[in-house]
Amino acid sequence: MKIFSDDIQIEPVQTFQDFKMFYQVPFQVYRDDPFWVAPFWNEVRDFFKKTNLFWSHSECALFLARKNNRIVGRIAAIIDYKFCEVAKEKIGFFGFFECINDGDTAEALLKTAEDWLAGKKMNLMRGPIDGRVDVGCGFLLSGFHSRPSVLSSYSPEYYLDFVEHFGMKKIKDLILYYIDLTKPIPSRLEEKANQCAASGVGLRPFNRLRTGRELKWWVNLFLETFAQHWGYVPVTPEEVKTRFGIKQMRFIVEPRFFLIAEFNRKPVAYLWATPEYNQIFQKWKGRLGIKQILEFFMTKHKINIGKLHLIGIKQEYRDKNIGSYLNYAVLVEMKKRGYIGAEVGWIDEENIAAHSTISITEATLYKKHRVFEKPLYLRQGKEK
């Protein structure tokens, strides 16, 4: 335990009961927030299990903040050694951060993560990143007054003050767009889709009945097409298959929202979109059992917003308008189902090609998330 003041203590998570309290912290932080969507207990628990392949190349320490003998915050300090290899820099993360609106408590949590990472000889602390960028990444910078979409992060505005006061600076902004499907699909998007189809590219839906066979090629294509994207780490196909949304793909995938582009009958690109499942998940408050699963299948047809998560195109096929073809096809399908809109992203602010492709859909800027960074080597130099 670290005592920061007479009323603030930071305690490491050591027992399963501690971990349950770690999970419960955001329920206190967001108890009056109408937009927050609770994380699934099963997913959070399973992420931190030793059997998660992520921990074969990573390590972490979890901490709870107690103020006046009440748990009021949490943080994780995480090192992904594969990420450090790719980045060629000793970068540690802070993540799973949640805290009441109290600057002293937030500083104590961030200082604890900083100390742990510095003790592991990291040169930089970056975050929030919940281990991997696809688990949770960035504090919300704009777009606070709407529900987060599935697989998107959410945080109160005062978290920005916490990290800036702690001396952290922007390292990256992540952009989300919104497409208004009550309007006609832009003619320019349709033209590019037709040009692509005329060039010999064909589209087909994901075959849910052969999910295992589909994943064999798709996971490798995912790793290939995202190899150069910010924050992504080359891992084994087996590790990719354990991730949320992928291990459940047989059940939650909408085949006509998961489209594969083929050239000469070989997959060269894909777009993975889903209904905006948080319209259902929000009501469950983190619970996921038989009752919720039955409700999911009975009510998912009522969802009226989509989410375009990932688009990947082989390098040699990126000049054939395949991105526009995929976008057009999935937006046409969403409009057929009566969807009023679709969210896209996140997209790295420096991914010019992706922003250009999305601009053809006439999407508008919807939300931004920001990732921060702070050097630790100056501190370590002073300690020496």
Res 245: pLDDT: 64
**Does the residue 179 lie in any domain?**
no
148 and 240 within one domain: no
230 and 379 within one domain: no
- Relative orientation angle of helices 187-198 and 322-336, to the nearest 10 degrees: 120
Res 332: pLDDT: 97
State the CATH number of the domain containing residue 290.
3.40.630.30
222 and 113 within one domain: no
Cα gap 172→338, rounded to integer Å: 35
Distance, CA of 59 to chain centre: 20
271 and 357 within one domain: yes
202 and 143 within one domain: no
**Does the residue 178 lie in any domain?**
no
310 and 194 within one domain: yes
**Does the residue 177 lie in any domain?**
no
242 and 154 within one domain: no
- Going residue by residue through the chain, which has 384 residues, state the pLDDT in tens, using 9 for 90 and above: 666 677 899 999 999 999 999 999 999 999 999 999 999 999 999 999 999 999 999 999 999 999 988 999 999 999 999 999 999 999 999 999 999 999 999 999 999 999 999 999 999 999 999 999 888 899 999 999 999 999 899 999 999 999 999 999 999 999 999 999 999 999 999 999 999 999 999 999 998 878 888 888 888 898 888 888 888 888 888 888 877 666 666 667 888 999 999 999 899 999 999 999 999 999 999 998 999 989 998 999 999 999 999 999 999 999 899 999 999 999 999 999 999 999 999 999 999 999 999 999 999 999 999 999 999 965 554 443
**Does the residue 366 lie in any domain?**
no
290 and 189 within one domain: yes
Two tokens, residue 193: 């889709």
Spatial contact of 362 and 192, defined as CB atoms under 8 Å apart: no
**Does the residue 89 lie in any domain?**
yes
339 and 197 within one domain: yes
233 and 161 within one domain: no
Cis peptide before 346 (omega within 30 of 0): yes
Res 384: pLDDT: 39
The number of distinct structural domains making up the chain is: 2
Res 363: pLDDT: 97
Residue 316 gets which letter from DSSP? Answer: G
Cα gap 232→16, rounded to integer Å: 30
Global pTM?
A: 0.92
- Length of the chain counted residue by residue: 384
262 and 202 within one domain: yes
Res 247: pLDDT: 64
315 and 230 within one domain: yes
**Does the residue 348 lie in any domain?**
yes
Two tokens, residue 220: 């490798």
- Count CB-CB contacts under 10 A for residue 220: 13
Res 383: pLDDT: 46
Res 241: pLDDT: 80
| Full domain range(s) for residue 15 | 2-172+372-383
Amino acid at 302: K
**Does the residue 107 lie in any domain?**
yes
**Does the residue 168 lie in any domain?**
yes
